[in-house]
Chain A
Amino acid sequence: MEGTKTNKIRYLSIGLFVIVIAIMPLVARSRYYVTIGNFIGIYGIVAMGLALLIGYAGQVSMAQAAFYGIGAYTSAILTTQVGLNPWLTMVAGAILSAGVAGIIGVPLLKLEGHVLAVATLALSIVVSTFFVELRPLTGGYDGIGGIPRLSVGGFMLKADFHYYYLIWAFLFFLFILSHNIVHSRVGRALRSIHRFSGGSEMGAESLGISPTKYKVQIFMLSAAYASIAGSLYAHWVTFINPDPFGIFISILMLIMVTIGGMGSLWGAIIGSCLVFLSGELFREMVPRLIPGASGEMEMIAYGLILILILLFMPRGLVSAPALFKSWAAKATRKASG
């Protein structure tokens, strides 16, 4: 009964994970861990969107930073300058991001993969330039401060660990949503398109499935995810400036998804954890080993990891158990002659 056993293991591990996440702030020794947890959660949401896009639409997008920023800035501007309810601004940001993604996506997603990557990179740069240049709206380099907090019911969320639970609640909700999408008709259609999951675009088209339409839908969805994450970020830290919304975030997202595993939602979360934690570790350790050097070593390490993973484990860490199994099987076959 292989099926039920793996299912049981899966539910157990999910349950375990939920418990670990839930009790972490209560047992953590300092607020620092909660802050890290918040970042992992926020990036995890963006990464999940990207994982869906790459894994199921086969499109490498560097535009996550753009939508993350649009979400954050929409929330910031609409709450501070127009006085809207923060939840409404989150929805507005998501709609705006999805809208931009939809408009840009229709022509761009018809492009060949490499060209699309450059186009999305260009988009990220253009958007972050606007964040800096549209000073009356965005405050330029000074950014926007005094962003109001989110409240649930009458309760205003102020502490870091409030946002911790909020962010991770969002993450789980979006995780389940993504999971349902993947296993729905839309997901099956997507998998029929993408070569990576065994499909072919021409084959799909002959069945009446329009690859571009589904790709655009996923692109819009991933944009919405990134935007929501951005809004959460804005209301948590209450102050934003263009810094965190540059291409660096896009790079980070790609690394997270690659390390974790392309089409895998779990991979996105694991990738987010690993990348963020190792980033922090790096920032702690490297200045002690090599005085003066920090940012550069981080860059080099990220790039090398990216390359190595793509060379040796292109399906990411989530494929490690499967890889291990096949390696072990090969080894035992050789041993038994």
Chain B
Amino acid sequence: MTSFDQLLQFIIGGVSTGSIYVIVGLGFMIIYSVTRVVNFAQGEFVMLGAMLTVSFYKAGSPLGIAILISIAFTTLIGILFYQTIIYPIRGAPAFALILVTFGASIVIRGVALLIWGTGPKHLPYFSRTNPIQISGAILNPQALWVMVTTAVMAIGLFLFFRYTVLGKAFMASAIDAFLASLMGIKTERMGLLAFGLSACLAALAGSVMAPFTFPSTSIGLYLSVKGFTAALIGGLNRIEGVIVGGLALGVLEALGAGFLSSGYKDAIALTILLIVLTFRRHGLLGGAEAGQV
């Protein structure tokens, strides 16, 4: 394998994982833009989606149905999470909201451990084609599924936010919740929509990536942090930014793991996060805490 092929391989791998980060990041963005909450449980929703799909498939239902049920289930959990926990304390100081989503992520992970244990899960590839050859590098067709799903999701969200009434109401709430409520937009419903939509996207992401990432119940935390990094690079409010952020993160990670040591892989993503936060973000996200006059 020539070194160009090797580089290409890393980049392809990076784009595959990067696409997953994009989806997780979009989920963060959706929730944060409306509720100003960083949902630590986002990665766990992805994990749930993957686990549920595997379970339903193993129980005998066809793959497509399994995915749909899993998405429905996870969306329901996301909505319940909002209704019972987030909404009641929405006026609380930032640390309470952070800790609450963090507590929820722990609970979800614990329950998942109880149900599914610690081993990696297997899901068959969606399509039975052979690995695709690009120059000297190999592309796993399932990764293509992931990339296509991500693209469809991103475009779908873009169209939704720009051209539907509900989507525009959502954007209005994201820009200024108070003014939006003056216009008659129910911001609680927007929060509900945000959580439901994010959970739905997360479950889909989990299902699509399951066949080639062999998910276990512990993937949630790292996915959360990396997805958040992707969202952050996009300023937490631009779809295009999240896409760039996620893909860049994936590729940098793959390159780093390839040329340095694989143990440092996670550290790379996080160091990027810290660097980005140090130099770009504090201006974009504002210095004062949300809600202070």
- List A residues at the B interface (Cβ < 8 Å): 54, 58-60, 104, 107-108, 110-115, 117-119, 121-123, 125-126, 129-130, 132-133, 195-196, 200-202, 247, 251, 254, 258, 262, 293, 295-307, 310-311, 314
Contact = CB atoms under 8 A, between A and B. Distances in A.
Contacts of B110: 296-301, 303
Secondary structure of the B contact surface, majority rule: helix
Contacts of A195: 93, 289, 292
Contacts of A307: 85, 100, 103-104, 107
Contacts of A60: 94-95, 98-99
Interface in B22-67: 32, 36-38, 40
Given A297-B114, A310-B96, A112 B106 contact: no
Contacts of B222: 125
Contact of B225 (A118, A129, A201): A118
Interface in B206-246: 221-222, 225, 228-229, 232
B148 interface: no
B290 interface: yes
Contact of B277 (A58, A107, A296): A107
B103 to A, nearest CB: 3
Contacts of B2: none
Given A119-B274, A126-B267, A113 B85 contact: no
A307 B105 CA distance: 10
A303 B103 contact: yes
Nearest to A135: B263
A113 B105 contact: no
A250 to B, nearest CB: 10
B288 interface: yes
Contacts of A254: 99, 102
B121 interface: no
B184 interface: no
Interface size class of B (residues with CB under 8 A): 35 or more
Contacts of B108: 303
B113 A295 contact: yes
A317 to B, nearest CB: 15
Interface stretch (B4-12, B122-130, B279-287): B279-287
Contact of A311 (B88, B94, B109): B88
Contact of A129 (B85, B92, B263, B287): B263
Contact of A125 (B107, B113, B225): B225
Nearest to A301: B110
Contacts of B96: 310, 314
Contacts of A119: 273-274, 277
A111 B285 CA distance: 8
B266 interface: yes
B158 interface: no
B181 interface: no
10 contacts: A111-B277, A125-B266, A126-B270, A126-B274, A130-B267, A262-B95, A296-B111, A297-B114, A302-B103, A303-B105
Nearest to B112: A296
Contact of B270 (A122, A296, A302, A304): A122
B160 interface: no
Contact of A303 (B107, B232, B274, B285): B107
A299 B225 contact: no
B266 A117 contact: no
Given A114-B37, A195-B292, A297-B114, A302 B106 contact: yes
A107 B278 contact: yes
B263 A121 contact: no
B178 interface: no
Contact of B93 (A58, A104, A258): A58
B285 A112 contact: yes
Nearest to A211: B287
A122 B221 CA distance: 10
B93 to A, nearest CB: 5
